[in-house]
A = this chain, B = another copy of it.
Amino acid sequence: MAHPHALVSSVGKRCARPRITQDGIHRLMIEAARAGQSVVRLKSGDPLVFGRAGEETRALCAAGILCEIVPGVTAALAAAASLSVPLTDRLLASKLIFCAGQHAADKEPSPLWSGRLPDDATLVIYMPGRDTARLARELANAGLPPDTPCCAVSHAATPLQSHAVCTLESLAGLECGPAPLLVIAGRAVAPLLEGEDLSLAHAKPETAVALSF
């Protein structure tokens, strides 16, 4: 996507092993901007949802550098679209909650949710980690019933996407795909458990009527 003359610096992080520190990323951007370059900080998903855009814009503002944020499709929305499953539902889910399982890697893991989760919510856990037994315990402790539909989505909205569905009572044993991973829990995603799949992804082209939202 980048212009052939663009200088491309990969600053991605994987599994809490930064190749470059957050401060290093700020410094790179500030130095390039001060050198008169047009800087594009490209992320997947939406930069304002678990994307550190706040820290980065603060650093740029402090250095007197103007910036524009272009919104994106956050992973939860991309995953739901590719699975053809709603995140809210007029009757079942009037709330949508995004939580981070491993948001601040340098802190002790804190509980995902303190108190009781609302009955009428869809919960999406970004970066849930590999400990599905602990996740299942936390969701049950927050009041989700054992038959709550759950779906783990690996590599959402990429050619590598895979997903696995279950109810909360069997989440502990769910075989999830590799990170990046999302877990969606709530009654709105019940159609996934029923196994009905009329999405275009699995249709022969000649039988498909394209309906885009």
* Contact, CB under 8 Å: A60 / B98: no
Residues of chain A from 34 to 86 with CB closer than 8 A to chain B in the complex: 37-43, 46-58, 60-61, 64-74, 77-78, 80-82, 84-86
* Contact, CB under 8 Å: B96 / A199: no
* Contact, CB under 8 Å: B43 / A213: yes
**Does A133 lie at the interface of the complex (its beta carbon under 8 Å from any beta carbon of B)?**
no
Residues of B within 8 A of A199 (CB): 66-69
Among A47, A78, A191, chain B packs the most CB atoms within 10 A around the CB of: A47
State the main secondary structure of chain A at its contact with B. loop
* Contact, CB under 8 Å: A88 / B210: no
The residue of chain B having its C-beta at the shortest distance from the C-beta of A117 within the complex is B115
Interface bracket on A: 35 or more
Interface residues of A (CB under 8 A from B): 29, 33, 37-43, 46-58, 60-61, 64-74, 77-78, 80-82, 84-91, 94-100, 103-104, 113-116, 118, 157, 188, 191, 196, 198-201, 203, 207-213
